[in-house]
Structure 1
């Protein structure tokens, strides 16, 4: 009897001691005294390891943003309680923060098997799928959430985003409108909603959304840019020019493409001299952009500077054709030659040289092809001469070309 009472006393004492230690740990956690909390937790784990203690230790590391260490602790704790919801969720979240999204999905799905109606977990799972750009899967997840709770603004916003990504534009539009109605200070939703509208069919809705956004975010550069781009895309160039200028008052490092659109709007607004200044700045940023030279040419034409206009348009045309097109024609000419289709070969080789006059060796190939193709050797001799003139000291086949010119001269003399 005495032994039994003694045993009960020891159990009660251990329980009281454990409870006291747990309370001490909890107080340290509340006070955010994490170093002492870790010491106490490790002391208790050495004596009596449990999933609860591992959970608390993992939370400490997570609060310290030591996510890798937290993850290792949570995984160890799950060995003591494989269906512990709190640790399954924390493990998934740590994986997600560390960029291990596939592992995060596995643990969120396992947690949802334990609590299938936990919408918070489902929402977090959906976000991981969005991070992986698995928009269709994320769309399905948030659609199921919406069926159970259509009032949560955050989840509705995620579903709207996924709807847009899977080309459910009208659904995305309706959801974003609902989100803005609940939270009119949501800046990102204004931008996303504008992109949901069809530029031609829903023009009034676009402008109304931009205006509403600017009421809440005056002089916001993103909304000002949306307004400028709306006018630009609908070819209302005068208003577009003015809106681009308002945008540029707020944005001191605009993108090249935006400045290009500003310049084009200014040109079509019949402000040619101002447009020339804009395109002059763009040319300094990118001297070989063909579109810049094209509009510079058009501005000069309107201002009756015809010589400048012609020169710039010529440069624009030359810059528009990529180098690889000339190379394509070069290969095509060679392939025709191998098939002994000499006429087609010469046409392709001439096109290659026309597109890239720097490829003077093509002239040599034209000359040799003419020798095979045309009984009139004058054409071949002329191209050998053009080749030597255009290539200068860089002619790789200069000796052969000179020998052929001499030989062709002799042949032409005897033919006479």
Structure 2
């Protein structure tokens, strides 16, 4: 009887052909390979075909992988991992419609495997993007965000770009807050981006307040000084803007290009 751990070890060692040969040999020895009569036969045939698919997929032989996965799917049609792997293989073959079909079928399976579901959603986004279905991309990212499933920084950044172009300032602020919580290293940049959002949405009082809070927290960062100056100017507080401008030039003498706001 085959030990599946031997197959897994071969795959981990990237000995894919040996793993495939071992699985095929084991399948050939089963008396009821096509129509298993016992549960242990069904389970073993499923696992052997699944591992065969993994070996083919990892060696980028996607069509053979799909065929093996399809055989495994016959015995475990609700295995969300197989749906994901088939979708990935079709994506690798640039058969995007077939890939999307298995993405959607995988998402319809009631499974608590959050990571697999997240990978399916990411793949769906990639398919939409490759098809230039940008409206669908934005709607998918919005749905993922609302369901607390938008946890990849790259996708969060793409969603932020969509929102910025759409001038959806309220949603921008929500997504920036979520990004800061998910990725603590991005807190400072998210705070700066929020200042720009306040300024562009003409919420000058909040822009001024939050800029002052930012400067207190990061006193050596000169990149937000113009936000405070512009906020003061838009609020009609020109003398304060001029005074802060002059103080900033003293503190940051090398930032004249940055502090290019003209104050009469």
Q: Same fold (TM over 0.5)?
A: yes
Question: Does the Cα contact within 8 Å between 1:160 and 1:173 map onto a contact in 2?
Answer: no
Q: Which of the residues 62, 70, 74 maps onto 1:79?
A: 70
Describe the superposition over 1:344-368 as per-residue Cα deviations: whole angstroms up to 9, x where unpaired. xxxxxxxxxxxxxxxxxxxxxxxxx
User: How is 1:174-185 mapped onto 2 (pairs within 5 angstroms)?
Assistant: 174-185=174-185
Listed as ranges, the gaps of 5+ residues in structure 1 are 1-16, 248-261, 271-416
Q: Which of the residues 103, 107, 128 maps onto 1:108?
A: 103
Indicate the SS of the match to 1:265.
coil
Matches of 2:120 and 2:103 in 1, distance apart? 8
1:203 is aligned to 2:207: yes
Structure 1 26/116 Cα, relative in aligned 2: closer, same or farther at 3 Å?
closer
Structure 1 114/175 Cα, relative in aligned 2: closer, same or farther at 3 Å?
same
Matches of 1:121 and 1:102 in 2, distance apart? 17
User: How is 1:162-311 mapped onto 2 (pairs within 5 angstroms)?
Assistant: 163-164=163-164, 166-186=166-186, 189=190, 193-199=194-200, 200-201=202-203, 202-204=206-208, 207=211, 227=224, 230=227, 245=254, 262=257, 265=260, 268=262
Indicate the SS of the match to 2:178.
helix
Matches of 1:151 and 1:110 in 2, distance apart? 18
Matches of 1:243 and 1:134 in 2, distance apart? 46
TM-score (normalised: structure 2): 0.57
Describe the superposition over 1:148-203 as per-residue Cα deviations: whole angstroms up to 9, x where unpaired. x4487549947953554554320221232133135321367556545543334242
Partner of 2:7: 25
Q: Which has the larger radius of gyration?
A: 1
Listed as ranges, the gaps of 5+ residues in structure 2 are 34-44, 234-240
Matches of 2:210 and 2:254 in 1, distance apart? 20
User: How is 1:297-376 mapped onto 2 (pairs within 5 angstroms)?
Assistant: none
Matches of 2:255 and 2:190 in 1, distance apart? 22
Question: Does the Cα contact within 8 Å between 2:169 and 2:197 map onto a contact in 1?
Answer: yes
Question: Does the Cα contact within 8 Å between 2:83 and 2:103 map onto a contact in 1?
Answer: yes
Question: Does the Cα contact within 8 Å between 2:83 and 2:105 map onto a contact in 1?
Answer: yes
Q: Which of the residues 122, 126, 134 maps onto 1:128?
A: 126
Indicate the SS of the match to 2:199.
coil
Matches of 1:87 and 1:98 in 2, distance apart? 17
Question: Does the Cα contact within 8 Å between 2:118 and 2:149 map onto a contact in 1?
Answer: no
Matches of 1:196 and 1:160 in 2, distance apart? 15
Structure 1 136/21 Cα, relative in aligned 2: closer, same or farther at 3 Å?
same
What is the CA distance between 1:143 and its match in structure 2? Answer: 4.4
Question: Does the Cα contact within 8 Å between 2:87 and 2:103 map onto a contact in 1?
Answer: yes
Structure 1 109/141 Cα, relative in aligned 2: closer, same or farther at 3 Å?
same
TM-score (normalised: structure 1): 0.40
Matches of 2:93 and 2:209 in 1, distance apart? 41
Indicate the SS of the match to 1:114.
coil
What is the CA distance between 1:39 and its match in structure 2? Answer: 3.7
Describe the superposition over 1:131-151 as per-residue Cα deviations: whole angstroms up to 9, x where unpaired. 34645424443444455x448
Matches of 2:94 and 2:213 in 1, distance apart? 35
Question: Does the Cα contact within 8 Å between 1:58 and 1:73 map onto a contact in 2?
Answer: yes
Partner of 1:40: 22
Matches of 2:192 and 2:216 in 1, distance apart? 11
What is the CA distance between 1:86 and its match in structure 2? Answer: 1.8
What is the CA distance between 1:109 and its match in structure 2? Answer: 1.1
Structure with more relative contact order (C-alpha pairs < 8 Å, separation 6 or more): 2
Matches of 2:229 and 2:51 in 1, distance apart? 57
